[in-house]
Structure 1
Amino acid sequence: MDTQTPARTSEALDRDLLERAGFRPVQVTRAEPVAEAVLALTLDSRQPFAPGAHLEVAVPAPAPAPGAGMAPSPAAGSEAGSPPEAPAAEPLIRHYSLCSDPTGATPWQIAVLRHEDGDGGSEWIHSHVQAGDELFVRAPRASFHFRAALPALFIAGGVGITPLRSMLTFAHGLGLDWRLLYIGRSEASMAFARELEAEFGAEHVEVWATAQRGGRPDLAAAAEEWLAAHPTAVVYTCGPTALMDAVTSGLSALPHRVEREDFDPESAEAASGAGAGTPTTVGPPFTVELADGSEVAVERNESILEAFSRAGIRSLSSCRRGTCGTCETRILCGEADHRDAVLSPEEQAEQSSMMVCVSRAAGERITLDVQR
């Protein structure tokens, strides 16, 4: 292994911060391209998970531009002229759907689309992660729920195939009626397309490459014929927001339930229903007591997460809009004014945890399971 590339190992990250937040290292046993700009990572775990669940993966945040800020002074006791020890990197938390068999019959697998115009998370994985490396991950979270007793129509767009692949594998194992319509720009850009066709056949899988077939199909028309023969079926869709919106609106006149997976903050809020995921965190000021007894004041125009940052308390976060669940924090005492789109109404009523990027205290004080 190339010891001159520290970013390739979990040592480049703040292990203590991640472990306190429930992350653990898992070895990558295989890294292989499965489509244009899509890298599949097989991980050394066979823990069962709910179909459609995703992993939270920690990667180093991009390094500051050369010359940005002031150079740190050499650490006390270090030799003159020797460079100071590099601090552990601030982690980015990214969400990747598990696309392997949810029963644990096969090792965990995720597929990562390279976003060249993103913030560097997928770029880092594509550039650095190889077989034998470690990734810090947090246990699978089920936010895209599969109704295992009912027939299923799956409509995938591009890399949106990843959560649907685990669902259809599970549905097939149960002997359910199911069908997949998989849409992409070209066959070369569509991960697992040939593999799914070979494994399940044309009876279950239709691959639609728009470059070869003159554009996208009429999604409503493509779905209605199959749904007419399956009146209790549930439709599951994942992919670009425009595709999912077309599915939702095109099938709105039908009685079939449509479930969608969407990590885009604005879309997730709109799909979650009234009252969830408000974009503002403004409210009366309050005090957060930490598990060690210290306190942090939260002003009316800042979030708990922002107050923690101001006080020098490091917390994990990703979307900062209350839609991903990364910053979920346990409540020790008091009640939250929930403003997220992650917790169900029942989970919010339990008052056992909150999303500190958007939610506030319902009163003047709240105690959270956080330490300095």
Structure 2
Amino acid sequence: MRVDLFDFELPPERIALRPVSPRDAARMLCVSGDGRLEDAQICDLPQRLRAGDCLVFNDTRVIPAQLEGRRGEAKIGATLHKRVDLRRWQAFIRNAKRLKPGDEIVFGGGVTVTAEARLEDGSYILLFHGEEAVELLLERAGTMPLPPYIASKRGIDARDRSDYQTMFAEKDGAVAAPTASLHFTPALMAALAAAGIGHETLTLHVGAGTFLPVKADDTDAHRMHSEWGRIDAATAERLNAVRAAGGRIVAVGTTSLRLLESATGEDGQVQPFEGDTAIFITPGYRFKAVDGLMTNFHLPRSTLFMLVSALMGLETMQSAYRHAIAEGYRFYSYGDSSLLLP
């Protein structure tokens, strides 16, 4: 499909620079399969779902993956993207023209890396020196990797360390938050449980590639980034039981949805999964694993707007986004959310 079909104009003032407080006070646009739009709030979610439904969250934890340093006199910035092994990470480099394989970069806190190899997409493999765990080095030298549409408008500060982390965050490895889950609070989870709505977790370590624009003119020419994920056997079994009992699987966030779809066979059964997924979902895709999606509002021409258009229909999502813009919904990572039930 033509990528320009997924374009739209977003006024800059619609981009949220901070989350609302409390988190579950954010707005939620409910979109039905017939195209009906209803304005609600996150705290209304227990009334918008049914007893027996199951929400699926991503329990990845965002690491301070943004690094600033020097190679000699040259300033070098790095955004870690994907773990290679215990001491190596793939990273996108700023000022990469001043870097070549074999060069050393010195970051803050005495953290030093070697730029081992340059990959086809322009990123580098960085080898962290020393014996300390890389996670400890990042806590010392790194900052939270806020999306460029926020970081370009304000500085990253201490508040982002908590704001850009979900209540489910347990497993280190993401360089971007599964932002739909940012809206959830213990009080909301208790209300959902009281309404008979269950939840499960899986792990998908979100990479910086999630923010990369689609540069191709046609979706067939776009090469999707890969991310590592895991669904254990017990979780897969419980999710299959939800559907067998007539409940719906509602993914919280596109990351949860992409992993669920990667792990599910043509028979609709979720299988245990561990490894990389580069699934690219566009209109025409037949969903196997999910019956709904809760997700924030996405960038124009992005793979994520293509995904929601595949779930609900392009015309429906164009209408929903026009409504959201006109009604003052807040967009992107720290913004409001939508509940999509086809």
TM-score, shorter chain, exceeding 0.5 = no
Q: Which has the higher contact order (CA 8 A, sep 6+)?
A: 2
The structure richer in helix per residue is 2
Q: TM-score, with normalisation over the residues of structure 1?
A: 0.26
